[in-house]
């Protein structure tokens, strides 16, 4: 993972993960590095661990809240459920 700076401007980023190399997208590694630069207290969240540690009720409530506020995610979830029926 590389970031090129000139003064305070980011002039280039390069990451070796497949997401960046194959698709040319900005990946979560880049986001994590930038967030860490902006906020020294930033820690990457272990999503898998976090989700596993939540109760069923917490997961359900949170998912509901997120999907109510995000049409695109709600649509993705709907597709997922409908495909698995
Ligand atoms: Zn990456």
C-alpha of residue 56 to centroid of ligand 1, in Å: 31
Cα(34) to centroid(ligand 1), Å: 12
The model's confidence at residue 52, banded by pLDDT at 50, 70 and 90, is very high
What value does the mean pLDDT of the chain take? Answer: 85
- Please write the tens of the pLDDT for every residue from 19-32: 777 776 778 888 88
CA 40 to centroid of ligand 1, rounded, Å = 20
Distance of CA 20 from the midpoint of ligand 1 (Å): 6
How far apart are the CA of 22 and the centre of ligand 1, in A?
11
Could you tell me the pTM of the whole model? 0.48
Tell me the HSE value of 14 on the side-chain side, using a 13 A CA sphere.
4
Please state, in angstroms and rounded to a whole number, the distance separating the CA atoms of residues 72 and 51: 21
Tell me the CA–centroid distance for residue 12 and ligand 1, in Å.
14
């Amino acid at each position: 993972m590389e970031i090129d700076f000139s003064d305070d401007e980011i002039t280039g980023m390069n990451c070796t993960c497949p997401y960046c190399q194959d698709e040319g997208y900005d990946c979560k590694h880049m986001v994590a590095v930038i967030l860490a630069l902006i906020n020294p207290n930033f820690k990457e969240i272990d999503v898998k661990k976090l989700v596993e540690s939540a109760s069923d009720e917490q997961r359900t409530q949170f998912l509901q809240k997120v999907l109510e506020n995000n049409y695109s995610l709600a649509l993705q979830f709907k597709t997922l459920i409908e495909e698995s029926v």
